[in-house]
Each structure stands twice: as structure tokens, then as C-alpha cells.
Amino acid sequence: MKSAYELAMERLEKDSPTTALSTEQKAQIAEIESVAKAKTAEKELFLKEQMAKAAASGDYAAIGQLEQQLTFEVQRIQAHAEEQKDKVRTAKS
């Protein structure tokens, strides 16, 4: 007897079957993730440095804006990376 989880996974597989990625596609996805991590780290370093300067000067409004900007930038980078990875996944190998 199958569990509810196994039945759900079978239904999911029927709705959207998984496709095996080629070695080249895996490498491209890994590169996209690597670039996204590097860009995220770069933005974090830059904006956290700006936050430290704002904190030293007592400009707490600027700190809030910089935190919002950091959140936005990280989300933008991640969304762009996901779009690129989806293109690689759907490309014919």
C-alpha cells in the first residue's frame, strides 16, 4: 500500500514530468549560481559598509533605506538567476 506522499508524487510526476539535465546544463546552472552568489556578496559588502558609515554618523533613516535596498538587490539578483536557470533547463540539449 502506498503512502499519501507517494501517491502525491506520482500525480505530480504525471502533471509535470521531470527531465534529466545534461552535464553541460548542470555546469551552466552551477555557473549561474556562482555568479549570483558573487554578485550578492558584492552588494552585501558594499551596502553593509554604507550602513556602517551611516551608523557612525547617526543617520538611522539612511540605514533603513540601505537595508531595504539590500533586500531589493538580493531579490533582484536571485530572480534574475532563476530566470536564467529556467532558460537553461528548458533549452534542448
Classify the phi-psi angles of 44: left when phi > 0, otherwise alpha if psi is within -120 to 50, otherwise beta. Answer: alpha
Exposure of 66 by Cβ count < 10 A (0-12 exposed, 13-18 middle, 19+ buried)? buried
| CA pair distance 3, 16, nearest whole angstrom | 20
pLDDT single digits (tens) 45-78: 999 999 999 999 999 999 999 999 999 999 999 9
The predicted pLDDT at position 37 comes to: 98
CA atoms within 13 A on the CB side of 79: 6
Residues in the chain: 93
- What are the domain boundaries of the chain? 21-90
